[in-house]
Amino acid sequence: MDNKAKVSFSLMKIGFISLIILFGVNLGVRAFDLRVNDVKIIFPNGYEMNVVTTKTVISDILEENNIVILPNERTETAMDAILNENRTIKIVQDATLGNINVKLSSLEEILANYKTITEKIVKEQVTIPYETVTKDVSDGGSTLDTVIQHGQEGIREVTYKVTYENDIEIKKEEISSITIKEPVDKIIQKQAVASRSGSYTERTEGNATVTTLNASAYTASTCGKAPTDPGYGRTASGNMATALYTVATSSDIPIGTRIYIPYFASYPNGGWFTVEDRGVYSGQIDIYMDTYNECIQFGRRNLECYIYY
């Protein structure tokens, strides 16, 4: 190999080695840039915050941690400077800016300057009001309003998306709703009132006198006697009252009279009752039932009655 070839080969070798060195230095710089640093940030009031960052410029570190330098503050080291060896950033009040009434005394006050927006999905149950329906079955004259079906509110489950700003509700948007329970209408029936004087219309069918009586319901607890009273639940006939068997009438219908009421034909008694009690006016009938709630549900209504004297 001649001298020129040797020189050329040496130069190529030197250049190759230089490239390797430069590549290694570049990797080292990049590795330094990506190095994770533990940085201490000291606020004017003495509060210290420790953060972990790969940033090296002071302004970048502060921005990354949402720290704002107020008008009367500054960093001891320039904002565009590289992080020093002790990895500490100190924020101090700048006396040259005069007395500015901006002061943060705690971390809570610092965080209070930032708005936290959160959203939640919540479900609520709301009531559905029932409607009142009135049915008029009277033929004019005096009438009586009787509740034949009590109203019940329905229930609807509503799903909302609720937006909060710093834990304070600022927006509530309905997403969906589903009816869990349908409302039940309240039904009031307007009926003619039977006369108390006995001047109601009668007709005869076979052995029965057919007439319309104004019917109500009662139970032992509504008779004004305590359960400990010997007469509690005992009728004027001397017998104990029996649900859907005993009825009370005025004295113009004798004790022991059998009465058939078609309204109760589908009940276990087949619609048949026996007069065993008193306490109502002529033209009325009081039907004994087991519970007070049954009496309330029944209410008061005009019913066709077949009286077998």
Q: What is the CATH number of the domain that holds 170?
A: 2.20.230.10
Residue that has been written with the tokens 């068997």 in this structure? 245
Does one domain contain both 242 and 281?
Answer: yes
Does one domain contain both 168 and 258?
Answer: no
Residues of the chain with pLDDT > 90: what percent? 40
Does one domain contain both 217 and 248?
Answer: yes
Does the pLDDT of residue 288 top 50, yes or no?
Answer: yes
Per residue in 166-182, pLDDT tens?
888 999 999 999 999 99
CB of 257 closer than 8 Å to CB of 308 = yes
CA 285 to chain centre: 46
CATH value at residue 50: 3.10.20
CB of 49 closer than 8 Å to CB of 91 = no
Does one domain contain both 286 and 183?
Answer: no
Q: Which domain holds residue 163?
A: 117-135+143-187
Domain count, the chain: 4
Does the pLDDT of residue 6 top 80, yes or no?
Answer: no
Does one domain contain both 287 and 233?
Answer: yes
pLDDT band at 107 (very low <50, low <70, confident <90, very high): low
Does one domain contain both 169 and 244?
Answer: no
Does the pLDDT of residue 193 top 70, yes or no?
Answer: no
DSSP one-letter string for the chain:
--HHHHHHHHHHHHHHHHHHHHHHHHHHHHHHHT--EEEEEE-TTS-EEEEEES--BHHHHHHHTT----TTEEESS-TTSBP-TT-EEEEEE-GGG---S----SHHHHHTTS--EEEEEEEEEEEEPPPEEEEE---SSSEEEEEEE--B-EEEEEEEEEEEETTEEEEEEEEEEEEEE--B-EEEEEEEPPPTTS---EEEETTEEEEEEEEEEE-GGGTT--TTSTTTTB-TTSSBP-TTTEEE--TTS-TT-EEE-GGGTTSTTTTEEEEEE--S-TTEEEEE-S-HHHHHHH--EEEEEEEE-
Does the pLDDT of residue 239 top 90, yes or no?
Answer: yes
Does one domain contain both 12 and 59?
Answer: no
Does one domain contain both 282 and 211?
Answer: yes
Does the pLDDT of residue 44 top 90, yes or no?
Answer: no
Does one domain contain both 221 and 258?
Answer: yes
pLDDT band at 31 (very low <50, low <70, confident <90, very high): very low
Residue 77, pLDDT score: 86
Task: Copy the structure tokens of residue 38.
Answer: 């533990």
Cα–Cα dist 84/208, whole Å: 115
Domain boundary among 187, 207, 223: 187
Task: Give the pLDDT mean for 21-45.
Answer: 65
CATH value at residue 256: 2.40.40.10
Predicted TM-score (pTM) of the model is: 0.38
